[in-house]
Amino acid sequence: MSDLHRKLYTRHEIAYLDNPFIIEGPVAAKHIQELRMHAGLKAFRRPEEQKEALADIASLPEGRIVLAREADVIVGYVTFHYPDEMETWSSASMADLIELGAIEVAKEYRGIGLGKHMLHIAFSNNQLENRIVFTTEYYWHWDLEGSGLNVWDYRKMMESLMKAVDMVWYATDDPEICSHPANCLMVRVGKEVPLSSLEQFDRVRFRRRFMY
């Protein structure tokens, strides 16, 4: 494993109403296959299909999955991987740019801090200090109906969650993000990221100004 792809497994146990939860990661694909997906994890695809997608990401050199589980049932997860080659963010082919692609917690387990616990595990042990980690927040991915929140309150909730691991709002002229004022780009620049990479990322964030 190259120093670029640091994967240091960490496991914490927390309790809520006397129910123990395991927060762990980055986990191997084999471990994911041994677990079951909660039926409520269906924001992106059917639970079993999502389980396969998680295992596929975990198998990538740069991919990492952090899980929250109750016994052998996955009730939440966070994914990290290189941006899709069809996306703006992959245009510079940056080896040290990683996307926080998805974070999902089954509805009945929300509000107990599992999301923050998973993020803290993901960024623990200086694993991502040599990376620029970004996430694109699009309102059409948010569970507005299930949460009972309006788009602005949901945006505040997501910002608060990401700020727990020092991710901050960054400006961009990316058309998808600019298509709605609630959408946003949040970024964490690791302490070991060279200035050259940050400058390269700035060129990706503001591609349109170089078109004329």
Q: So where are the chain's domains?
A: 10-205
Q: Is residue 200 over pLDDT 50?
A: yes
Q: Which stretch of DSSP H or E encloses residue 64?
A: strand 64-70
Q: Which CATH superfamily is 10-205 part of?
A: Gcn5-related N-acetyltransferase (GNAT) (3.40.630.30)
**pLDDT at residue 4, rounded to an integer:** 83
Each residue's pLDDT tens digit, 126-166? 999 999 999 999 998 888 887 888 999 999 999 999 999 99
pLDDT digits (tens, 9 = 90+) for 50-59: 999 999 999 9
For 115, what's the count of Cα atoms within 13 Å in the CB-facing half-sphere? 18
Q: DSSP labels for 26-51?
A: SPPHHHHHTSEE-TT--SSS-HHHHH
For 110, the 3-state DSSP assignment is coil
Quote the mean pLDDT of the chain.
93
Three-state secondary structure of 158-189: HHHHHHCCCCEEECCCCHHHHCCCCCEEEEEE
The continuous run of DSSP H or E covering 207 comes out as none
Residue 200 vs residue 146, higher pLDDT: 200
Neighbours of 53 (CB within 10 A): 18
pLDDT band for 1, please (50, 70, 90 cuts): very low
Cβ–Cβ < 8 Å for 141, 27: no
- pTM of the entire structure? 0.92
Q: What is the pLDDT of residues 171-195, one digit of tens each?
A: 999 999 999 999 999 999 999 999 9
Average pLDDT over residues 6-32: 95
Q: What pLDDT does 209 receive?
A: 60
Q: Name which of 85, 101, 188 is nearest 141 in CA terms.
A: 101
Burial (CB < 10 A; 0-12, 13-18, 19+), residue 129, is middle
**pLDDT tens-place string over residues 96-132:** 999 999 999 999 999 899 999 999 999 999 999 999 9
Nearest to 24 by CA among 32, 16, 36, 34: 32
